[in-house]
Structure 1
C-alpha cells in the first residue's frame, strides 16, 4: 500500500494512503506559545454536526438486526462483528449527548432504537450480558462489572435526553449491582457475581463516572455517596503515593500483585481518573482530590508519552518504562479532559496544555482519517496500524469535545 507523508513540528511520519485527510504542516499545529483559547471550537462543531454524527447515525446503525455496529471499515461500511454491551451503551451515550446539545434531529430516535436493542441482553437476574451476536442473540452471558458501569452511564444521559424508559432501567440496574456485584465486605464491586481475580481498578473508575452522571441527571445525593466509596478505594488501594501512579490489577484483598501485573499502569487511565476526581471534588468540596488529580496528570505526562509523537503509550511500568508502546486514540481524548478539569483547580494555568493536547488529537487521529472517522492506533514509530474504526471510541471523543466546547464559550 502507498503512503502519504504527514508533517509535524519536528518529524515526518507515514500514514497509509487510504486515510487521505489533509496534509498537516507546522503551521497547522498550534504550538503552546501560540496559545489561543478555544482554537478548536469551530472545528469540533463542524466535525460533530457535519461529519461524525450523520455518518454514525447512518452507517453505524444496524438496520437489519437492530443496535449499533461494533466497528466500521475506513470506507464507512459496517463490519459484522459481535456487539459488546459496552459499545451498545456508549453509542446510546453519544447520541444522548447529541440530543442534549441539539446537534442532530435524529438523536432521540437513535437513543430509543439503541435502548430497545440493549434489552435483548438482559439476564434472568436483571443484569446485562457481556456480548451479543450481530443478530442480537447472546454470545457471552457473563455479567461483567465494566459493562454494567457503561450501561448505567448511558441510561443516565438517555434520561437527561428525555427517554421514557431510561430511568426505570437505571433503577433496575442499580438493584442488580447492589444484589449481585457489590463486594460483601464493602470494598467496591466484584468483577462478576462469581467474583474472580484479578480485580481491576478500571470498572470502578467507570462506576465513579456513572454515579456522577446519575447525580447530574437527578440531583440526588445518594449517588455522591456511592461515588465516595470509589474515591475511598482510590485513596486506599489504587493510588501509589511514592510513584504517583495508578495500579490496574489487584488480588482479592486489593493488594498489589507481586508479578508483572502489579507493575502495569496506563497513562490514559491516569488522565481519566484525574478528570473524574476533579468532577467529584467540585460536587462535594473534597478538594484534597485536586492534588491527587494533578499528580496523576503529571505522572502520565512525564513518563507516559512517546517523545517521538507526543501521544500517550498504552502502558508503562511504575518507573516509567514502556510496556505497551502502541498509542490509541482514547488516551489522547482523556488527556484533553484531564487538562480541562485541572484548569479549574489551584495550580498552573492549563489552557496552553488543553490546546496542545487537542492539537495532538486532531493532528494524529481526526485529520488524517476519512470524514467522520478516526485512526485509532499508531505504533511507537508513528505509523498508523489501525485496521478498523471502533465505535466505542465515539464516546471518548464526544466527552472530550463537549467539555472543550463548554469551557471555550
Structure 2
C-alpha cells in the first residue's frame, strides 16, 4: 500500500461538493430534530419524519441521535446544543437503570436485557457530548466506560461479551461481532475524548481479533455469530436470515465498516500501526464491493450473502451505502488512489437517485431488490447516524474518531 500522503497532498473536496455536503448535513439535522421525545430521549421516526406515537425511546437510537447532534453542534448548528443536552439527560435518567446500573434497552422496561451493542453507543454518545464540553458529559462517559469494563469487556479474549439479564446475573452464551464493531468505534471516541491510551489499546485488540483473525481466516467472509468459546456459528439464524441485528451469513455492510475502522485505528496508532492493517482495510472493502454490489441484476448492495457469496437477503439498506461512501473517501485519503474517489462518486450517485428524499433530505432506510421502498427488515427512518457521518466525514480532518475530527475544526 502506498504511504499515507502528507496533509498538504491529501485530497481536497471541490468547493461545490463541500457546499452540497454542508447543505445535506443541515437537512439531516432538521429531520433528526423531530425525534425529540418529550418523555425523554429520542424516538422512532416514521417514513414521513414524524415521531411514532406510543413507541418509547430506545437507548441505541437516543445515543446515535445524541452523537449526531454533538457533531452538528461542533459544526456550528445553533440548535444542536440543546438537543445534545436532551440526550445526555435521558441517558442519566429515563434510560438509566438506577437499581442495577447500566442502561435499559427501552425506556420503562427495566426487566429487559443489558446489551453490549446499546452500551457501546452510550459510550459513543457520552464521548461525543464530552467533546462538545457538555458539563455532564464526562461523568456520563466515566459511568459508561465503567459498565463496559465491569460487565462486557473480556480481558482474556480482548473482546466484549454480548448480553446479560437485567440484574447482571446471567450472561447469554451468544457472542457477536456487531457489538464488538461498535465497541471499537466507541473506544476510539473515548480515547480522543479522554486522552487515555487504554481505550485505543482495547479498540486495537478487538479489531485485531476480528479483522486479522476471524475475517482473514475466512477469506474476508466475516462470521458474525459465535458461541461462548468464540467458535463460529455459521448457521445462526438461517431460518430468520433478515434479522435486523443478527442476520444469517455475511453482512456486506460490516465488511465495509470494518475497513473504515481499520484505517481509523491505523491513524490513531501512527507509526506504531501493525503492518497488516492497511492491506486488510483494502481487502475488506474489496470483498464487500465485489460480493455485495450489483450481484443480483440491479444496482445496490445486498444486505447479506451466504458463505459461498450467494445473495440471501436482497434488500438494500441505506446504511450500507452510507458506509461505502465513508470507506471510499477514507481509502482515497489514505492512498491517494483515484479508483476510491470514483467509488465515492458512484456510491453518492446511487444514494441521491434511490435513497435521499428530495422532500426533506432524509434517507429511505430500505429498498427491495428492484430499488423500490421496502420494510422487510426495517420500518420508518429512525437513524440519521450513518447518513450524517457519511455526509460530514469528507469535510473533516483525518482523525481516529468523528468527535476527534470535529474537535479539530472543520
TM-score normalised by the shorter chain: which range applies?
0.7 to 0.9
Superposition pairs of residues 354-365 of structure 1, within 5 angstroms: 354-365=344-355
TM-score (normalised: structure 1): 0.82
Q: Which of residues 198, 201, 210 in structure 2 aligns to 1:225?
A: 201
Q: Which of residues 3, 20, 23 in structure 2 aligns to 1:46?
A: 23
In the comparison of the two structures, how many residue pairs are matched? 363
Superposition pairs of residues 278-297 of structure 1, within 5 angstroms: 278-284=263-269, 285-297=273-285
TM-score (normalised: structure 2): 0.82
The 2-side partners of 1:40 and 1:360 are apart by: 16
Asked if 1 retains the 8 angstrom alpha-carbon contact of 2:225 and 2:236, the reply is no
Name the counterpart of 1:106: 79
The 2-side partners of 1:344 and 1:286 are apart by: 19
Name the counterpart of 1:33: none
Asked if 2 retains the 8 angstrom alpha-carbon contact of 1:126 and 1:172, the reply is no
Matched, 1:127 2:102: yes
Name the counterpart of 2:182: 206
Asked if 1 retains the 8 angstrom alpha-carbon contact of 2:42 and 2:58, the reply is no
Cα–Cα, structure 1 residues 125 and 162, in superposed 2: closer, same or farther, change >3 Å? same
Q: Which of residues 374, 377, 387 in structure 2 aligns to 1:385?
A: 374
Asked if 2 retains the 8 angstrom alpha-carbon contact of 1:53 and 1:372, the reply is no
The 2-side partners of 1:39 and 1:315 are apart by: 35
Q: Structure 1 stretches of 5 or more lacking a match?
A: 1-35
Which is strand-richer, 1 or 2? Answer: 1
Matched, 1:92 2:66: yes
CA RMSD of aligned residues (A): 2.3
Name the counterpart of 2:308: 319
Superposition pairs of residues 239-278 of structure 1, within 5 angstroms: 239-257=215-233, 259=235, 264-278=249-263
The 1-side partners of 2:237 and 2:56 are apart by: 28
Per-residue deviation, 1:347 = 7.6
Superposition pairs of residues 290-309 of structure 1, within 5 angstroms: 290-307=278-295, 308-309=297-298
Structure 1 outlier segments of 4+, above 4 Å:
36-39, 260-263
Q: Deviations over 1:144-169 (max 9, x none)?
A: 00000011011111111111111111
Name the counterpart of 1:32: none
The 2-side partners of 1:407 and 1:302 are apart by: 29
Return 314-323 or 123-132, whichever deviates more. Answer: 123-132
Q: Which of residues 296, 318, 328 in structure 2 aligns to 1:329?
A: 318
Cα–Cα, structure 1 residues 258 and 138, in superposed 2: closer, same or farther, change >3 Å? closer
- Secondary structure in 2 aligned to 1:83? coil
Matched, 1:142 2:113: yes
Name the counterpart of 2:126: 155
The 2-side partners of 1:84 and 1:43 are apart by: 31
Q: Deviations over 1:360-381 (max 9, x none)?
A: 2222111x45313221111112
Cα–Cα, structure 1 residues 192 and 357, in superposed 2: closer, same or farther, change >3 Å? same
Asked if 2 retains the 8 angstrom alpha-carbon contact of 1:156 and 1:167, the reply is yes
The 2-side partners of 1:94 and 1:114 are apart by: 11
Superposition pairs of residues 161-240 of structure 1, within 5 angstroms: 161-183=132-154, 185-193=156-164, 194-235=170-211, 237-240=213-216
Per-residue deviation, 1:244 = 2.0
Cα–Cα, structure 1 residues 38 and 354, in superposed 2: closer, same or farther, change >3 Å? farther
Asked if 2 retains the 8 angstrom alpha-carbon contact of 1:240 and 1:247, the reply is no
Asked if 1 retains the 8 angstrom alpha-carbon contact of 2:113 and 2:163, the reply is yes
The 2-side partners of 1:96 and 1:205 are apart by: 21
Q: Which of residues 89, 97, 110 in structure 2 aligns to 1:116?
A: 89
Asked if 2 retains the 8 angstrom alpha-carbon contact of 1:340 and 1:407, the reply is no
Q: Structure 2 stretches of 5 or more lacking a match?
A: 1-12, 165-169, 239-247, 399-409
Q: Which of residues 360, 384, 389 in structure 2 aligns to 1:371?
A: 360
Cα–Cα, structure 1 residues 67 and 261, in superposed 2: closer, same or farther, change >3 Å? closer
The 1-side partners of 2:379 and 2:207 are apart by: 35
- Secondary structure in 2 aligned to 1:389? coil
